[in-house]
Amino acid sequence: MKGRYCPPASGSFSSEALCNDRKMLGTSSEDGPALRREAERVVNEVAQERRTLDEGTSWFSALPAVGRQAVLHEVAGYAMQAHITAADGREGVARSGVKPTANPSVMISMDPPRYGFAALPADEHVQAFRVLVSVFSVADTRRRQTYCKGTCGHAWHNLPRLAD
């Protein structure tokens, strides 16, 4: 977008990709980090059963279209970082409440999984969010129970308990 400044990439694909996403989505560098932090918190609360999937979906649904696309891109990144497997995909789809034949379900269950959820039609974004968060929950739980068990320093794996 004309008039938007993105700092030069420091050789990192992710910073260049993030800048390109901001241009494509029309978000500024000021509102992007706040949305990413909020998405990280909400998604991890759902993954750690501190918030229900329906509550997370309500939060997601209230975002403007451009915010939903940015969150889908972000959550797909979390899923990649959690090293999801085809088995995680199938289990997550079953938990998501989304039909296994829906585009997001098929994409995440492939071996290797396909991404590009933000590019799906807007009427599939809620399904994509439910599938991505559910699959991320499965994979992240597995990783917390194996790689991070007892020694985890990841802030997102050590969320404070919510008040009842």
Residue 153 has pLDDT above 70, yes or no: no
Q: How does the average pLDDT of the chain come out, rounded?
A: 78
CA distance 155 to 149: 14
Q: What's the pTM?
A: 0.73
pLDDT given at position 32: 81
Angle between helices 53-61 and 31-47 (to 10 degrees): 160
Q: What is the pLDDT of residues 29-85, one digit of tens each?
A: 456 888 889 999 999 999 888 999 999 999 999 999 999 999 999 999 998 888 888
pLDDT at 43: 92
Is the distance from CB of 95 to CB of 138 less than 8 angstroms? yes
pLDDT of residue 113: 86
Query: What is the sign of the dihedral through the CA atoms of 103, 157, 83 and 13?
Result: positive
Q: Measured between alpha carbons, how far is 99 from 11 in angstroms, rounded to an integer?
A: 40
What percentage of the chain's residues is helix, strand, coil (to nearest 5)?
65, 0, 35
Is the predicted pLDDT of residue 139 greater than 50, yes or no? yes
